[in-house]
Amino acid sequence: MTSEKVGLALLGLGRIGQVHLNIILSSHRTNLLWIVEENRELAETVLKGHGLLGKLRVVSNDKFDDILQDPQVKGVYVCTPTNTHTALVRKALTARKAVFCEKPLSEELADIKACYDDAEKYGATLFCAFNRHFDHGIRSMYDKARSGRLGKIYMVKTTFHDTPLWMGAPTFTQTFLIHDVDLLCWFADSLPDTVVVQATANIKEVAEKSDVDTVGALMRFPCGMLGILDFCKYSPYGYDVRLEVSGSKGMDVSDAKPVSYVKSYTPNGLETNPIHMSFPDRFDQAYRSEQEHFLDVIQGKAELEVKRVFSERAAIVIDALKESYKTGQVITLKK
Ligand SMILES: NC(=O)c1ccc[n+]([C@@H]2O[C@H](COP(=O)([O-])OP(=O)(O)OC[C@H]3O[C@@H](n4cnc5c(N)ncnc54)[C@H](O)[C@@H]3O)[C@@H](O)[C@H]2O)c1
């Protein structure tokens, strides 16, 4: 066990990379040694915003091998686009660095398995950033459901209405559906037996790309739990994440999170606040907590909570959802 600052390299300064940059810079437990970003202009703008231009080493990906040879680097954050993850993750694991990789590790189950095989082979930590496991509200609902205090779990419903509209990946990908699929499998502690899906395109830009934006999926789990997934690619009213867990002894609900819980009583009625408008705001606490956990694992203070099976299950279920959408059939998952 050590309490030294953890030397880090951060790959990718896009939407989520900037979230992690802020958290790394605000932590007293980390020492950011390298940033890898292909877009130099973006990197300059971001670092200028932090008053760090010229003070941090920013390099392009062809210097990644040098970074991996730096003994001060203990952990590597992979925040680049999904299709680059597997190669970067495997390289870092081979160099025995602890890896924090944004979800998903890959869109392909075989790649996910290869990443975890490398983690086992080289004895290196591989943390796939399932940030919702670290959200205090979601975690407390999970703990309560698993403890039996809600009785037998009958139904878990996830709602994810995204905003702003992001067209960086088709809807039937892990990039979009992984969080909700993972939550349902996590609560049931297994793969579902069967899945079925319906989906439509209601947004013009999405339809023009022959994609869908509105998805409803139903999953039946071996424990008797039904999982309902409600996804929209764009919500005009905010970044809407809700969860409902019902069982034989009661029901827990977590609502979309407002920017503040203050309510104003006015002659015209009750005024409340809008919900958060983006993932960095909605999940700020969860992103901070997942980093604490990653650092704890590196420093030998905690066992890794995010298991290999979470990524593998999500990949299997999302492939089945795609198949159900394509064929219109209920899909039975192979045991
Ligand atoms: N957990 C979450 O809430 C969450 C939210 C958003 C995105 N993500 C995940 O994070 C990943 C990145 O998504 P994003 O929205 O930030 O993408 P983005 O396109 O905004 O950013 C990716 C950045 O990586 C850079 N880049 C590309 N290849 C690189 C390489 N080889 N080395 C270094 N930099 C490289 C790009 O120039 C870009 O700046 C995706 O896998 C996505 O699924 C997770």
pTM recorded for the entire structure: 0.96
User: pLDDT > 70: what percent of the chain?
Assistant: 99
**In terms of domains, do 124 and 152 share one?**
no
**Does residue 231 belong to any structural domain of this protein?**
yes
For the residues of 262-331, what is the DSSP string, one character each?
--EEETTEEE-PPBPSSHHHHTHHHHHHHHHHHHHHHTTSS---S-HHHHHHHHHHHHHHHHHHHH-SPE
Shared domain for 18 and 119, answered yes or no, is yes
Examine the domain organization and report whether 322 and 266 are in the same domain. yes
Number of domains, the chain: 2
CB count, 10 Å around CB of 220? 17
- Ligand 1: which of 79, 111, 276 to mutate, most ligand atoms within 8 Å of CB? 79
Are 55 and 48 in contact by the 8 Å Cβ rule? The answer is: no
116 and 88 in a single domain? The answer is: yes
- Could you tell me which of 25, 4, 59, 85 has the C-alpha nearest to residue 291? 25
Q: How many residues does the chain have?
A: 335
Residues whose beta carbon lies within 6 Å of some atom of ligand 1:
11-17, 36-39, 42, 61, 79-82, 84, 102-103, 129, 131, 175, 279
Do 202 and 249 lie in one domain? The reply is yes
The whole-chain average pLDDT of the chain stands at 97
Question: Are 36 and 171 in a shared domain?
Answer: no
The whole domain housing 173 covers 133-282+314-332
What is the H or E stretch that residue 121 is in?
helix 109-122
DSSP-assigned letter for residue 193? S
Q: What share of the chain is helix, strand, coil (3-state, %, to 5)?
A: 40, 25, 35
pLDDT per residue over 167-211, tens digit each? 999 999 999 999 999 999 999 999 999 999 999 999 999 999 999
Peptide bond into 280 cis (omega under 30): no
pLDDT of residue 334: 80
For residues 166 and 190, membership in a common domain is answered with yes
Tokens 């973006």 found at: 42
In this structure, the answer to whether residues 210 and 141 fall within a common structural domain is yes
Residues 184, 254 within the same domain: yes
Residue 306 resides in a domain: no
Task: Report in angstroms the alpha-carbon separations of 268 from 17, 257, 259, 261, 265.
Answer: 43, 23, 22, 19, 8
Here the CATH number for the domain that contains residue 253 is 3.30.360.10
Q: Is residue 289 part of a domain?
A: no
Same domain, 203 and 63: no
The pLDDT value given to residue 228: 98
Which H or E run includes 59?
A: strand 57-59
| Residue among 80, 107, 178 to mutate when testing ligand 1 (max atoms within 8 A of CB) | 80
**Shared-domain flag, residues 276 and 146:** yes
**pLDDT value of residue 46:** 97
Quick: pLDDT tens for 202-255.
999 999 999 999 999 999 999 999 999 999 999 999 999 999 999 999 999 999
Token reading at 208:
């023009």
Asked if residue 166 belongs to a domain, the reply is: yes
How many other CB atoms are there within 10 angstroms of residue 335's CB atom? Answer: 6
In-domain check, residue 287: no
Q: Is residue 100 part of a domain?
A: yes
Give 33-81 pLDDT, tens digit per residue: 999 999 999 999 999 999 999 899 999 999 999 999 999 999 999 999 9
Residues 320 and 180 grouped into a single domain: yes
Helices (H), 160-276: 174-188, 204-208
